[in-house]
Structure 1
Amino acid sequence: MNYTDNGRNFFTETPHIKPKGAEIAETILLPGDPLRAQFIAETYLEDVVEFNRVRGMLGYTGTYNGNRISVMGTGMGIPSMSLYSWELIHVFGVKNLIRIGSAGAIQDKLNLYDIVFAIGASTDSNYAKQYHLPGYYSITASFDLLEKAKQTADRQGQAVHIGNVLSSDIFYNEDSTALNKWSEMGILCAEMETAGLYMNAARAGVNALSILTISDHIFREEATTPEERQTSFTQMMEIALELA
């Protein structure tokens, strides 16, 4: 039997998310790494309840500054992000989805640990084909979340870059010139999830935003460690948590 509150379904489960009655909040943070989700829950949230661990994709709900908020890993790539975000939206009633992830810089003005707000997401993915659109779709963030995130960053004294990012299906690209071409079009950085999240959110009429931390600079061969990516991208996390 399902329990609903204002149309939101708390006891429903999917093959990938099994809350067992635990709440999933209307606002959720979505790191790719489930261990980053665990770090956020343990470091920032109060009254934490685990709502998922299927396939190791850890999910938690708690309170931050008196507001209910959830956090869950999504894995790598548009297919994984799209699967989890679709279920969170359509099955569990999530309204605000904030990706907090890492990205590789492809512009000289970006440095390690810089923060990027993705106002748009260019992509080499064919994910939009399912919509049978009679042209090319411009993939953009929700302005309400983007505006609130910028105001939060300003209050916290955090400098951010706002612009277009690349969501690529390809990590090891046979075309060694591909990122140079995207860079020439003003793309700030490359990652693998934002375009799928934004399309799912737009189609469902909910809000989405990607907040990214530069984990490596592709052209300068600079990089952070996996451990640093898991636990030290706290500026990005603290901006996102204020969006609940």
Structure 2
Amino acid sequence: MTQATPHIQPNGVPIAKTVLMPGDPLRAKYIADNYLEDVQQFNEVRNMFGYTGTYKGKQISVMGSGMGMPSIGIYSYELYNFFDVDTIIRVGSCGALQDDINLYDIIIAQAASTNSSYVDQFNIPGHYSPIADFHLITEAQRHADALGATTHVGNVLSSDTFYNADETFNTQWKRMGILGIEMESAALYLNATFAGKKALGIFTVSDHIFRDEATTAEERQNAFTQMMEIALETAE
């Protein structure tokens, strides 16, 4: 196990086998403050806060990933390959595309399509589909049902572009059945597969791409409790 990397410096604090990864480091702090016991901070490099504690007796870590595939690509790679992490569950927000999805619904990302070239580094002779771990998907759905959450399981889009010059972009992905758009999961799923590890993305719908509906920044940071609880219960 590596003691430190340029991006993660635990200073002797353990990192659990399962890590929850919100994009926002303040959401990581919120989860640690409100759900974990016996919390220790294991990272503050670049203000990408990471914490380890216990949830119902299970050791769990939570750490911010930053925005976009290059950022989560670095952190997830190091956690899987240098810190012996087995499972990463991304907990984030996404913009809904389909008409039957509403604000605060939960999307469980079975797969992550992408317009990114992140996959090119693996020299795969074809078009690889980044997918989540099936056991994590079924466990997340089971815990979501127990909480009474409204869930949608399927394909999301991990996009490299937040502002896209192509005005047909969202419509084309909607037609292909994409549930929502976020910016990280494809890289996470690819890193997990390549390392022989597990990954899952769970999202709260923060806005609707085709309707004038959106949550506030404070709500995105603090109010997505169902998603957090599903991820914590799913953590192995």
What displacement does 1:23 show?
0.5
SS in 2 for 1:61: strand
1:40 to 28, 31, 37: 31
Structure 1 residues 118-166: Cα deviation after superposition (integer angstroms, max 9, x where no partner): 0011100001111111100011100011111111112222221001000
Structure 1 residues 178-210: Cα deviation after superposition (integer angstroms, max 9, x where no partner): 010000000000000000000000111111000
Q: Aligned residue for 2:192? A: 201
2:153 paired with 1:162: yes
Q: Aligned residue for 2:234? A: 243
Q: Aligned residue for 2:209? A: 218
C-alpha distance in structure 2 between counterparts of 1:209 and 1:75, whole Å:
17
SS in 2 for 1:242: helix
Q: Which runs of 5+ in 2 are unaligned?
A: none
Question: 2:24–2:221: 8 Å Cα contact kept in structure 1?
Answer: yes
Pairing of 1:14-25 with structure 2 (within 5 A): 14-25=5-16
C-alpha distance in structure 2 between counterparts of 1:138 and 1:231, whole Å:
32
SS in 1 for 2:188: helix
Report the TM-score, using the length of structure 2 for normalisation.
0.98
C-alpha distance in structure 2 between counterparts of 1:103 and 1:156, whole Å:
20
Root-mean-square deviation (CA), in Å?
0.7
Question: 2:147–2:226: 8 Å Cα contact kept in structure 1?
Answer: no
Q: Aligned residue for 1:138? A: 129
Structure 1 residues 13-53: Cα deviation after superposition (integer angstroms, max 9, x where no partner): 00000000000000010000000000000000000000000
What displacement does 1:172 show?
0.6
Paired-residue identity, %: 60
Q: Which runs of 5+ in 1 are unaligned?
A: 1-8
C-alpha distance in structure 1 between counterparts of 2:150 and 2:23, whole Å:
23
2:87 paired with 1:106: no
C-alpha distance in structure 1 between counterparts of 2:34 and 2:204, whole Å:
18
Structure 1 residues 37-76: Cα deviation after superposition (integer angstroms, max 9, x where no partner): 0000000000000000000000000000000000000000
